[in-house]
Amino acid sequence: MKKLIVANWKLNPLTLAEAKELAGKIDQAPLHTAVLCPPTIFLGEISYPILGAQDVFWKAKGPYTGQTSVAALKSLGVKYCIVGHSERRVLGETDEEIQGKIEILLENGIVPVLCIGYGTTVAEDDMEVIDVLHGQLEAALSGGINRKKVVVAYEPVWALSAGPGQPKKTPTDEHIEKVALFIKTKYGIDKVLYGGSATSVNAQEILAQHHIDGLLVGGASLLPDDFNKIINTKI
Q: Kindly state the smallest distance separating residue 90's Cβ from ligand PGA, in Å.
A: 12
Instruction: Please name the amino acid found at residue 151.
Output: V
18 in catalytic set:
no
Q: Kindly state the smallest distance separating residue 159's Cβ from ligand PGA, in Å.
A: 6
Task: Return d(Cα 29, Cα 90) in angstroms, integer.
Answer: 35
Q: Kindly state the smallest distance separating residue 104's Cβ from ligand PGA, in Å.
A: 21
Q: Which residues touch 179 (CB under 8 Å, ≥6 apart)?
A: 126, 129, 130, 133, 154
User: How many beta carbons lie within 10 A of that of residue 73, not counting itself?
Assistant: 24
97 in catalytic set:
no
The smaller minimum CB distance to ligand PGA, of residues 23 and 217, is found at: 217
The smaller minimum CB distance to ligand PGA, of residues 49 and 164, is found at: 164
Angle at which helices 95-107 and 126-140 cross, to 10°: 50
Name the residues that contact ligand PGA, by CB under 6 A. Answer: 8, 155, 160-161, 195-198, 216-220
What angle is formed at CA 51 by the lines to CA 12 and CA 192, rounded to 5 degrees?
95
Q: Give yes or no for a contact between 193 and 4, defined as CB atoms under 8 angstroms apart.
A: yes
The smaller minimum CB distance to ligand PGA, of residues 116 and 216, is found at: 216
The smaller minimum CB distance to ligand PGA, of residues 38 and 196, is found at: 196
Q: Kindly state the smallest distance separating residue 226's Cβ from ligand PGA, in Å.
A: 10
**32, 103, 155, 177: which one is catalytic?**
155
**21, 32, 45, 85: which one is catalytic?**
85
Residue nearest to ligand PGA (CB): 218
Q: Are strands 33-37 and 191-195 parallel, antiparallel or unpaired?
A: unpaired
Positions marked catalytic: 85, 155
